[in-house]
Structure 1
């Protein structure tokens, strides 16, 4: 079975490659979607709400000020309300960038947290696949460490790709991705059925 968390089930080279491709696609999509939601969708909604509140508050203050200033004089309420509304919109527009910046900053830790979760789950599932492949290939002891390290480096890069790309860090961290692939090569290229045959010899 290609996809399984049962470590006793051997995994072929093709099986590991399929796991790698499918898990990469799945967790990249999850990371990209969650990062976009946390850094674009939610901040945009929050900023829009905050801007609307600011515009309303400014309009109310402006209207009250105009009302007080017109004491004892003729007061055109509709004109004052229109002016107040315009003042509120202008204030919201002036502070739009600042409001949006604060909204993005507010959600940033949650965005990173979701990427960490994505990386951990991706690496976990990939490590299981690597271990099954290693068992099948008869890789033991210290041979396993580079393979699992490769899985975590690879998974970490893929999961954090949206963050790295958004912050211009993609090229700086590409070596981690390449190193991850290189460290996975022993598991990807080792022979098949060795674990089973070794196990069989032990019984004789």
Structure 2
């Protein structure tokens, strides 16, 4: 059965590790064009919410989740068990070190770079297949600026947008809007290189 992206946030085991919210997660995975046989990398995987949904959306593919914090690694594994996900490899490393031995990939999603965006993009450029998609999320303007600066001169076409989600909250007989933090989403597609 086809998986539709956007599992409720409350379904994930979370702890105090930051997690990409449902609406953003659905958009990111759509931008990544995850298909049944996709091979996907999630960099800075946190709780694993994107990794889990990507694995559910690619039952004949494989997902690799890189996370540098042990607390995050435990959560990713716990969420994989909860959602009965078996096509997921968890890598405890700081990217790009954990990217060294990966196979060619259809999509790379970057949710955290720990200041190493340039080196992560170098590895991503090597790993992505022609036509492969790179999706980067940024909650700060500085990260948004960094990704645009780092994409220049690379074999990618790219576009981006800022997304703001407001959720309804019941207040007596009325509904108010609770805003989530705005987020920048940049999607880049690797172009074939002439030999």
TM range (shorter): under 0.3
Q: TM-score, normalising length from structure 2?
A: 0.22
The structure with the greater share of residues assigned to helix is 1
Q: TM-score, normalising length from structure 1?
A: 0.21
The structure with the greater share of residues assigned to strand is 2
Higher relative contact order, chain-length normalized (CA < 8 Å, sep 6+):
1
